[in-house]
Structure 1
Amino acid sequence: MSSFSERVVVITGGTRGIGAAVAERFRRAGATVHSPGRADCDVTDESAVQAYFAQVGPVDVLVNNAGVSSSAPLAKTSVDEWRGQFEVNATGAFLCTRAVLPGMRERDFGRIVTVASTAGLAGARYTSGYTASKHAAVGLMRAVAAEVAGTGITSNAVCPAFVRTDMTAASISRIQERTGRDEAAAESALAAATPLGRLLEPDEIAFAVAFFADPAAAAINGQTLVLDGGGIQK
């Protein structure tokens, strides 16, 4: 029997990219999967988050995957861009985690996995809002881990480098616009940023999420799993 049989899993931002791959992996493992997109649950809206999770009921695994990014030098980053990334990447994870945690405490079981980024552990040029918000998401994960230590609940984060998603495609387009490179050369420039030398595939992130979520991973709490081929070693 699958370790996720009869488990209820919620993956925010679960309609495409990493979220869709995570949702499919859990479905194959026998879980009951809810994978809301923004139209189903705006993770930045406190009332919408409360209503959504009240409708879903008890949650065994929460995957905080909803995320946005933009790129600009710090001096050209608007307050709206800054706030927008924090609202989704950090506040969204906070609101969803807060919604499921009481029920997990009642049942003394739960897995909270935050899809962060290598940008949550190291800085990069032109990504001030994204990097700061992903650092905040990792910090939230660690604070939650400290609160649930010694219980049947864990809180961890996966931190991938560039993944083959629509978000990365937008980054490639920006490189093309700014440098005049063709699509292949722009993708290679991103891939060269890590020792892996290629873009990650969404299924690779799904594997890491499922690893943290497995009931057998009960001793792993407050950790970041970096997927970049060895560039960041923690």
Structure 2
Amino acid sequence: MNQVSPSQHVLITGAGSGIGAAIARRFAADGAKVSLAGRRSAPLEALADELGACALTISGFDVTDPAAIHRGLIAAHEAFGPVTILVNNAGEAPSAPFEKTSLELWSHVLSVDLTGVFNVTQAVLPDLKTSGKPARIINIASTAGITGYAYVSAYCAAKHGVIGLTRALALELAKTRVTVNAVCPGFTDTPILTSAIDAITAKTGRSRDETLAEFTKHNPQGRLIRPEEVASTVAWLASPDAGSITGQAIAVAGGEVQAG
């Protein structure tokens, strides 16, 4: 049974790989029209080719640049009409000890991971409020928005901010047909994590298995999260049955965190 109707238009930022691509595949399989937004054209175009006529590629979609967001929305409107479901997935997670975290790094992470959510949501909100159908804002946060981790202070601060924004906006929109929620994955099997494992292995001399174990030990189930598990949670939040779910931070983390 489809979670969303074919009349729904989903805009996904950071859609080229990992969690974003899994979410795009899930919505396309459920019958929605999907606008794939991101900075790099090659992975977006490859995914659009895979998904077929229901998918639009919006490359050069920099969430820190309001002008780029505006241009992307014009293209999305021309292809599929107003956006009815927004998935804020774009983000970065560089690692550094706090004492070696420069102001430049701090500002960059907050600009992409937090202000980017603000920028895109503010641009898309008029579509959502006037769509005439139940609309959704779904922010891909992280367990780093619920708890703390060493060496990613900027990322933790940004993702805590995303959850705060989610809760505040949910209250502001409670009388409308727009719900606002955050999904908080634990360590997920994505290209970003693969790159992190490669970097740690090269830097420390540990084996890949030893490095991977450092990530999976956080999950009581002893494994990485699959992107498809995150996508299924997003699809449920977008479904008609989730109309009363708003202002929530839902962990997809095998029991690592138990409150949000």
The equivalent position to 1:110 in structure 2, one of 117, 120, 135, is: 135
**Counterpart residue identity of residue 179, structure 1:** T
Aligned to 2:5: 4
The answer to whether the 8 Å contact 2:84/2:131 transfers is no
Q: TM-score, normalised by structure 1?
A: 0.96
* 1:95-114 deviation line (CA, Å, top 9, x unaligned): 11111111211235310000
Q: Which runs of 5+ in 2 are unaligned?
A: 41-58
Partner of 1:47: 67
Q: 2:252 aligns with which of 209, 227, 232?
A: 227
Distance in 2 of aligned mates of 1:144 and 1:198: 33
Counterpart for residue 94 of structure 1: 118
- How does 1:1-234 map onto structure 2 within 5 Å? 2=2, 3-39=4-40, 40=59, 41-57=61-77, 58-108=82-132, 109-234=134-259
Alpha-carbon RMSD across the aligned residues, in angstroms, is 1.3
Identity of counterpart residues, as a percentage? Answer: 43
Q: Which runs of 4+ in 1 moved over 6 A?
A: none
Deviation of the 1:136 alpha carbon: 1.0
User: Residues 104-155 of structure 1, C-alpha deviation per residue, up to 9 Å, x if partnerless?
Assistant: 1123531000010000111111011111111111111111111101221100
**Aligned-partner residue type, residue 54 of structure 1:** I
Normalising by structure 2, we get a TM-score of 0.86
Q: Which runs of 5+ in 1 are unaligned?
A: none
